[in-house]
């Protein structure tokens, strides 16, 4: 509706609101906010065209801290609200902030449906494997046997693998990052924005109050190199203290190999984010780091695909109908096809 | 052959048959023909909940009642004059609603042993022969046989031939009521334009039915019903759900806001979606969401973006929308929610009508969540009240609930449709400028207590809204106790203030002061009006008033109620409006309640009126 001729530049400072940030000190959400505030000014979007929509949870407080348009909605429904907003205002840059409970439990249905419809939005799912705001119950991403306030004997639930779930929902952009790696998170946010379609980004986020250290194997210096696999398009899948370990695909079975001794980088699995089959395999790199012979956890873009966006087709249908029938004429519509006159 | 022509002022025909017999189509065709001829009319389609209910059984009976006349018609009628029964089950299910002396047109083929058994008739008994119908005039015709005979050599299979049976009946009725077949012929040409053999078959069966009347010596009388003396002007026929769709599109055009319609299919509301989605050249966007929660949320998102956000459902789908409606109340965004009520609770009676969601509409949300509630009384009023719901939502920045029900949603009536120029203006002004020095306060109020609508894309008005309690004016999160009470009362006053912007309540029939007021809301309109007119004609001092605004009530409602010695409130529920009225006006109103999934008969209301006034 509104068209701004020249985009007014703004900085990350301009994205800070006058509201006090109310997350616990040390919470991973701070870093994610900071990275978003760093990246967004570079994207060339007029600030007034940016909208952050969230559900309910600690993570969902996010919009209050972003000096853009925003809505802090109800539990699980940010994706559904964003769908309606994007359908009616395709030119807006819409960012959804949700949690593992918000987006995968109460709002799980809307998450899979927005992905298959492929609205051009960015979905940031802050996964802390816990319900933070309600003070520490297990979530649909908590590991089996998780002992929390609501599961003193350990949770019975088998957890979701969010990336695999989104692959299953035919998402057109699936990525994973973490709060503790600002550079990586920034690059993934840029990629998510650059993708036309629904971009799903799972962000490992530490809840230092109710689930401290869940991701530490991937985020802490001491173990990160061995446990986190950073995928880069067109590059071999390598990791390890000296980047000397790699992934090799034996049929459909991924195996960890030591490079050198006859195995060169060229023999390794070369990451291709357009390959759905391989992305599905990568999404299943979901072993517990404590396990013997486990695979490392991938970070970066798993998969991306070009597919029409829902809102585009919606506009096309309107254009087609106008071409066929002409712009709607209200009087003709009210009159209908058959009338009669009473004198 | 010499034939008598009898002039009648109104006739009620019930078309009844198996769900596969095409009775809805037959009824609609006769209706449109009567409408084009200039009769006033009212219809009541009544069909089974199952798509393919077992053939020949009572559960599978589909009916369509049409009341048309040269006089004003308010209801589909209490008892029919003519019952078309395509089989035993159709007769059994409807005979109690045929007036004594009425005509039964029986398709004898539907009264064979198999059909008798399926309808659960006593072994060896056939109602056509056992004398049980002696109070009626029975016209027997073997429709199946005659349809097949007229299509001999057409090359069509038996199945296809039998599907044209309903055209025979329709043709015969056109003959009996002196109607032209033009409209139906045109309709068939459009429908089967690309299937020439089917078209030809239907046209010849229609004619065969007509000719059967013409040539058979059995029929000595034909009937005429002159055009009605109703308000002059140009009319069309409209059904309630269709009228809702048109109301939404009209409000979109007049307000200049694109319509966004987010919904999830449910009986009996789906036809609104079907209708709206036909008119994309008006720039309307329809969104069939994954569930009702997503449907209402998508509409809220669209409203946030500056569209006219609308969602519709029936009771079971309105329930899950509750939390999001509460959000819209907190966000103070325009939103229209249409509830096409059906029998409840739970899945209840999907294809039957009821008025049992009034409490849900007025109170059915967590917290103090006030919202305007409007209701439509007739199929054509679904247009004006939908338009009004949009007007109020946009002018007062609030969600609005509109209640209709299955009865008027599927019922049709002639509509003196407005021209777009006659429709009230709907002026929407988006906020463009800061309103508090160098700041923008999203919850600053105007004289209506409504807040500014600043949509994304507007420079310098970036702001956040949400469901958490907010500080007066700034809209910032606030947990302050006094502020909360202030805001709760403010949101309530804002809705109550709408009564300054809606019409006062006037009586439909009878004086504004007297012995008995019959007060109704929604689809009981026609039955109440007919009943009150009949009682007044017998000398009773009784008036009829009908509520279209239930929250807030029209300002003069209390005064009007106190002007009468007694108040009678007929409702298709256990007494929901009456509770709200007692609460507010402390009047000892009397209820008349029918909870059978069926509309009131005028007679039932008339009896109650006369019993109260004895
Ligand atoms: C309808 C509804 N049910 C339950 C709640 C309570 N609730 C608020 S946040 C939340 C879970 C949040 O977990 P998550 O989405 O993981 O967010 P986090 O706080 O961990 O960031 C729950 C159960 C609510 N606000 N609304
Ligand atoms: S409870 Fe956990 S997730 Fe919530 S703010 Fe505190 S640290 Fe962050
Ligand atoms: Mg969480």
Name the residue with the closest Cα to ligand 2, atom 5: A23
B526 alpha-carbon distance from chain centroid: 12
The CA distance from A129 to B589, in Å, is: 57
**Could you tell me whether strands A245-250 and A253-258 are parallel, antiparallel, or unpaired per DSSP bridges?**
antiparallel
The domain A12-214 is classified under which CATH number: 3.40.50.970, 1.10.3720.10, 3.40.50.300, 3.30.70.260? 3.40.50.970
Q: Looking at the complex, report in whole angstroms how far the Cα of residue B467 sits from the nearest Cα belonging to chain A.
A: 6
In the numeric block, the tokens 């034939």 are attached to B3
pLDDT of residue B82: 97
Task: Tell me, yes or no, if B226 comes closer than 8 A to chain A by beta carbon.
Answer: no
Between A302-306, B225-229, B259-263, B439-443, the lowest mean confidence (pLDDT) is in: B225-229
The closest alpha carbon to A101, from A66, A58, A70, belongs to: A58
B327 alpha-carbon distance from chain centroid: 28
Nearest to A19 among B235, B304, B476 (CB): B476
* Percent of chain A residues past pLDDT 90, beyond the cut: 94
* Percent of chain B residues past pLDDT 70, beyond the cut: 100
B551 alpha-carbon distance from chain centroid: 20
The CA distance from B523 to B378, in Å, is: 6
In degrees and rounded to multiples of 5, residue B144 shows phi and psi of -60, -50
In degrees and rounded to multiples of 5, residue B3 shows phi and psi of -135, 145
Between B12-21, B46-55, B578-587, the lowest mean confidence (pLDDT) is in: B46-55
Nearest to B301 among A8, A67, A83 (CB): A83
B586 alpha-carbon distance from chain centroid: 31
Mean pLDDT of A233-254: 96
Mean pLDDT of B124-128: 92
Between B210-219, B448-457, B516-525, the lowest mean confidence (pLDDT) is in: B210-219
pLDDT of residue B157: 92
Task: Tell me, yes or no, if B458 comes closer than 8 A to chain A by beta carbon.
Answer: yes
Per-residue pLDDT tens over the stretch A308-324: 999 999 999 999 999 99
The CA distance from B345 to B331, in Å, is: 30
Mean pLDDT of B201-224: 93
Query: Is there a contact between A330 and B306 if contact means CB atoms under 8 Å apart?
Result: no
Reported as a pLDDT band with limits 50, 70 and 90, residue B1 is low
Q: Is the confidence at residue A5, as pLDDT, over 70?
A: no
- List, as own/partner pairs, every contact residues A211-214 make where C-beta atoms lie below 8 angstroms and the sequence separation is at least 24, other chains included: A211/A128, A211/A129, A211/A130, A211/A132, A211/A136, A211/A142, A214/A128, A214/A129, A214/A130
Between B34-48, B347-361, B398-412, the lowest mean confidence (pLDDT) is in: B34-48
Contacts of A66 in chain B (CB under 8 A): 464
* Test site for ligand 1: of A56, A80, A203, most ligand atoms within 8 A of the Cβ: A56
Return the residue of A nearest to B455 by Cα: A69
pLDDT of residue B47: 80
The domain B236-422 is classified under which CATH number: 3.40.50.720, 2.60.120.330, 3.30.930.10, 3.40.50.970? 3.40.50.970
Sketch the domain layout of chain B as residue ranges. 4-224, 236-422, 507-613
The closest alpha carbon to B391, from B432, B442, B426, belongs to: B426
Its ipTM equals 0.97
Per-residue pLDDT tens over the stretch B249-306: 999 999 999 999 999 999 999 999 999 999 999 999 999 999 999 999 999 999 999 9
- Output the DSSP codes for B131-188: STTTTSEEEEE-HHHHHHHHTTTS---HHHHHTTHHHHHHHHHHHHTT--SHHHHHHH
**Cβ–Cβ < 8 Å for B305, B265:** no
Task: Tell me, yes or no, if B32 comes closer than 8 A to chain A by beta carbon.
Answer: yes
Size of interface A-B (CB pairs under 8 A): 217
Mean pLDDT of A159-163: 98
Query: Is there a contact between B290 and A84 if contact means CB atoms under 8 Å apart?
Result: no
* Test site for ligand 2: of A207, A212, A213, A214, most ligand atoms within 8 A of the Cβ: A207
Fold classification of B507-613 (topology level): Rossmann fold (3.40.50)
Residues with CB under 6 A from ligand 2: A 23-24, 27, 29, 58, 128, 132, 207-210
Query: Is there a contact between B302 and A334 if contact means CB atoms under 8 Å apart?
Result: no
Per-residue pLDDT tens over the stretch B586-611: 999 999 999 999 999 999 999 999 99
The CA distance from A255 to A233, in Å, is: 19
Cis peptide before B493 (omega within 30 of 0): no
Reported as a pLDDT band with limits 50, 70 and 90, residue B53 is confident
Task: Give the DSSP H/E element, type plus range, for residue B359.
Answer: helix B358-363
Contacts of A58 in chain B (CB under 8 A): none
Task: Tell me, yes or no, if B513 comes closer than 8 A to chain A by beta carbon.
Answer: no
Mutation site, A73, A88, A108, A310, interface B, largest B CB count within 10 A:
A88
Tokens of A39: 């990246």
Taking the centre of ligand 1 as the mean of its atom positions, its distance from the CA of residue A40, in whole angstroms, is: 27
Query: Is there a contact between B293 and A322 if contact means CB atoms under 8 Å apart?
Result: no
Taking the centre of ligand 1 as the mean of its atom positions, its distance from the CA of residue B325, in whole angstroms, is: 19
Cis peptide before B170 (omega within 30 of 0): no
Task: Tell me, yes or no, if B231 comes closer than 8 A to chain A by beta carbon.
Answer: yes
The CA distance from A130 to A137, in Å, is: 6
Taking the centre of ligand 3 as the mean of its atom positions, its distance from the CA of residue B478, in whole angstroms, is: 24
CATH number for region B4-224 = 3.40.920.10
Query: Is there a contact between A51 and B456 if contact means CB atoms under 8 Å apart?
Result: yes
Taking the centre of ligand 2 as the mean of its atom positions, its distance from the CA of residue A115, in whole angstroms, is: 27
Query: Is there a contact between B323 and A17 if contact means CB atoms under 8 Å apart?
Result: no
Using the Cα atoms of residue B226, residue B229, residue B235 and residue B240 in order, give the sign of their dihedral.
negative
Q: Give the orientation angle of helix B143-150 with respect to helix B165-176, to 10 degrees.
A: 100
Reported as a pLDDT band with limits 50, 70 and 90, residue B218 is confident
Tokens of A275: 């390959």
Per-residue pLDDT tens over the stretch A68-83: 999 999 999 999 999 9
551-580 in B: which are within 8 Å (CB) of A? none
Taking the centre of ligand 2 as the mean of its atom positions, its distance from the CA of residue A33, in whole angstroms, is: 13
Taking the centre of ligand 2 as the mean of its atom positions, its distance from the CA of residue A27, in whole angstroms, is: 5
Neighbours of ion ligand 3 (CB under 5 A): A 99-100, 128
The CA distance from B489 to B485, in Å, is: 6
Q: Looking at the complex, report in whole angstroms how far the Cα of residue B248 sits from the nearest Cα belonging to chain A.
A: 11
Reported as a pLDDT band with limits 50, 70 and 90, residue A3 is low
Tokens of B203: 């046209």
- Output the DSSP codes for B77-133: -SSEEEEEESSHHHHHHHGGGEEEEEEEEEEGGGGSHHHHHHTT--TT--TTTSSTT
Q: Is the confidence at residue A338, as pLDDT, over 90?
A: no
Taking the centre of ligand 2 as the mean of its atom positions, its distance from the CA of residue A125, in whole angstroms, is: 14
Mutation site, B464, B467, B475, interface A, largest A CB count within 10 A:
B464
Query: Is there a contact between A53 and B280 if contact means CB atoms under 8 Å apart?
Result: no
Q: What angle do CA B477, B478, B483 make, to 5 degrees?
A: 140
Predicted TM-score (pTM) of the model is 0.94
Taking the centre of ligand 2 as the mean of its atom positions, its distance from the CA of residue A148, in whole angstroms, is: 15
Using the Cα atoms of residue B193, residue B197, residue B201 and residue B204 in order, give the sign of their dihedral.
positive
Task: Tell me, yes or no, if B281 comes closer than 8 A to chain A by beta carbon.
Answer: yes
Q: What share of chain A is helix, strand, coil (3-state, %, to 5)?
A: 35, 20, 45
Mean pLDDT of B125-147: 94
Nearest ligand, measured from the Cα of A28: 2
Query: Is there a contact between B456 and A53 if contact means CB atoms under 8 Å apart?
Result: no
Query: Is there a contact between A84 and B299 if contact means CB atoms under 8 Å apart?
Result: yes
Taking the centre of ligand 1 as the mean of its atom positions, its distance from the CA of residue B297, in whole angstroms, is: 17
pLDDT of residue B493: 98
Reported as a pLDDT band with limits 50, 70 and 90, residue B230 is confident
**Cβ–Cβ < 8 Å for A218, A290:** no
Burial code (b: 16+ CB inside 10 Å, e: under 16) for B76-99 equals bbbebbbbbbbbbbbbbbbbebbb
155-184 in B: which are within 8 Å (CB) of A? 183
Task: Tell me, yes or no, if B426 comes closer than 8 A to chain A by beta carbon.
Answer: no
Nearest to A89 among B238, B298, B305 (CB): B305
* Test site for ligand 2: of A59, A209, A214, most ligand atoms within 8 A of the Cβ: A209
Task: Tell me, yes or no, if B304 comes closer than 8 A to chain A by beta carbon.
Answer: yes
């Amino acid at each position: 509706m509104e068209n701004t001729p020249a985009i007014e530049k703004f900085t990350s400072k301009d994205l800070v609101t006058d509201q006090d940030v109310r997350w616990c000190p040390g919470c991973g959400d701070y870093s994610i906010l900071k990275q978003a505030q760093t990246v967004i000014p570079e994207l060339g979007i007029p600030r007034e065209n940016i909208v952050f929509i969230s559900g309910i949870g600690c993570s969902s407080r996010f919009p209050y801290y972003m000096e853009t348009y925003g809505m802090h909605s109800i539990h699980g429904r940010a994706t559904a609200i964003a769908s309606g907003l994007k359908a009616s205002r395709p030119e807006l840059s819409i960012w959804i902030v949700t949690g593992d409970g918000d987006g995968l439990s109460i709002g799980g249905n809307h998450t899979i449906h927005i992905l298959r419809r492929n609205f051009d939005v960015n979905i940031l799912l802050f996964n802390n494997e816990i319900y933070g705001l309600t003070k520490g119950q297990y979530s649909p991403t908590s590991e089996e046997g998780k002992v929390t306030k609501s599961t003193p004997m350990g949770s019975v639930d088998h957890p979701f693998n969010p990336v695999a779930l989104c692959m299953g929902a035919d998402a057109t952009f699936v990525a994973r990052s973490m709060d503790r790696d600002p550079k990586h998170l920034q690059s993934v946010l840029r990629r998510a924005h650059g993708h036309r379609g629904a971009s799903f980004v799972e962000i490992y986020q530490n809840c230092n109050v109710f689930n401290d250290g869940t991701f530490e194997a991937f985020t802490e210096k001491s173990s990160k190199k061995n446990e986190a696999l950073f995928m880069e398009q067109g590059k071999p899948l390598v990791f390890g203290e000296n980047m000397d370990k790699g992934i090799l695909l034996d049929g459909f079975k991924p195996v960890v190999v030591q490079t050198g001794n006859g195995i060169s980088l060229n023999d390794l699995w070369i990451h291709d984010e357009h390959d759905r089959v391989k992305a599905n395999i990568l999404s299943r790199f979901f072993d517990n780091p404590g396990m013997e012979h486990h695979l490392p956890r991938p970070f970066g873009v798993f998969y991306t695909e070009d597919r029409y966006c829902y809102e585009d087709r919606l506009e096309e249908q309107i254009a087609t109908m106008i071409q066929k029938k002409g712009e709607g004429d209200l009087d003709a519509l009210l009159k209908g096809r058959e009338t009669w006159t009473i004198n | 052959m010499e034939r008598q022509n009898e002039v009648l002022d109104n006739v009620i025909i019930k078309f009844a048959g198996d769900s596969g017999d095409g009775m809805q189509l037959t009824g609609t065709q006769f209706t449109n023909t009567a409408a084009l001829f200039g009769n006033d009319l009212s219809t009541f389609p009544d069909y089974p909940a199952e798509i393919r209910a077992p053939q020949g059984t009572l559960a599978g009976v589909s009916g369509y009642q049409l009341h048309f006349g040269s006089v004003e018609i308010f209801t589909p009628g209490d008892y029919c004059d003519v019952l078309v029964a395509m089989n035993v089950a159709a007769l059994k299910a409807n005979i109690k609603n045929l007036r004594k002396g009425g005509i039964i047109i029986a398709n004898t083929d539907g009264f064979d042993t198999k059909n008798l058994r399926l309808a659960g008739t006593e072994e060896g008994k056939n109602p056509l022969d056992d004398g049980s119908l002696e109070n009626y005039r029975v016209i027997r015709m073997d429709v199946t046989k005659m349809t097949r005979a007229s299509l001999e050599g057409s090359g069509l299979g038996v199945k296809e031939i039998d599907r044209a049976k309903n055209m025979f009946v329709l043709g015969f009725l056109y003959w009996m009521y002196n109607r032209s077949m033009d409209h139906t012929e045109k309709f068939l040409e459009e429908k089967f334009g690309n299937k020439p053999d089917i078209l030809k078959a239907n046209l010849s069966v229609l004619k065969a039915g007509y000719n059967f009347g013409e040539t058979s010596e059995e029929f000595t009388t034909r009937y005429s019903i002159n055009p009605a003396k109703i308000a002059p002007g140009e009319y069309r026929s409209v059904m309630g759900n269709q009228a809702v769709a048109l109301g939404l599109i009209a409000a979109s055009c007049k307000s200049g806001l694109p319509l966004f319609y987010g919904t999830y299919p449910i009986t009996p509301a789906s036809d609104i979606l079907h209708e709206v989605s036909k008119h994309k050249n008006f720039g309307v966007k329809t969104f069939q969401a994954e569930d009702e929660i997503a449907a209402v949320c998508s509409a809220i998102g669209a409203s946030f973006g500056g569209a006219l956000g609308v969602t519709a459902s029936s009771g079971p789908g309105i329930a899950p929308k509750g939390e999001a409606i509460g959000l819209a109340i907190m966000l103070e965004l325009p939103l229209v929610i249409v509830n096409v009520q059906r029998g409840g609770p739970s899945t209840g009676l999907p294809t039957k009508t009821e008025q049992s969601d009034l409490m849900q509409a007025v109170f059915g949300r967590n917290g103090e969540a006030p919202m305007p509630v409007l209701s439509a009384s007739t199929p054509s009023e679904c247009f004006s009240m939908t338009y009004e719901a949009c007007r109020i939502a946009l002018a007062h920045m609030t969600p609005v609930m509109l209640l209709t029900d299955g009865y008027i949603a599927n019922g049709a009536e002639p509509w003196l449709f407005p021209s777009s120029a006659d429709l009230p203006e709907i002026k929407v002004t988006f906020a463009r400028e800061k309103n508090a020095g160098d700041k923008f306060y999203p919850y600053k109020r105007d004289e209506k207590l409504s807040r500014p609508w600043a949509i994304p894309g507007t420079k310098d008005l970036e702001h956040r809204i949400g469901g958490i309690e907010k500080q007066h004016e700034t809209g910032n999160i606030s947990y302050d106790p006094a502020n909360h009470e202030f805001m709760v009362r403010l949101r309530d006053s804002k809705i109550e203030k709408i009564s300054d912007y809606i019409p006062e309540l006037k009586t439909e029939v009878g004086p504004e002061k007297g012995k008995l007021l019959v007060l109704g809301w929604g689809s009981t309109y026609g039955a109440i009006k007919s009943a009150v007119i009949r009682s007044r004609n017998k000398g009773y001092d009784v008036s009829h008033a009908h509520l279209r605004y239930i929250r807030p009530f029209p300002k003069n409602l209390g005064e009007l109620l106190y002007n009468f010695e007694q108040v009678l409130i007929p409702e298709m529920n256990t007494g929901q409006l009456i509770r709200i009225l007692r609460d507010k006006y402390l009047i000892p109103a009397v209820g008349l309640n029918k909870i059978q999934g069926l509309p009131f008969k005028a007679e039932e209301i008339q009896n109650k009126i006369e019993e109260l006034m004895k």
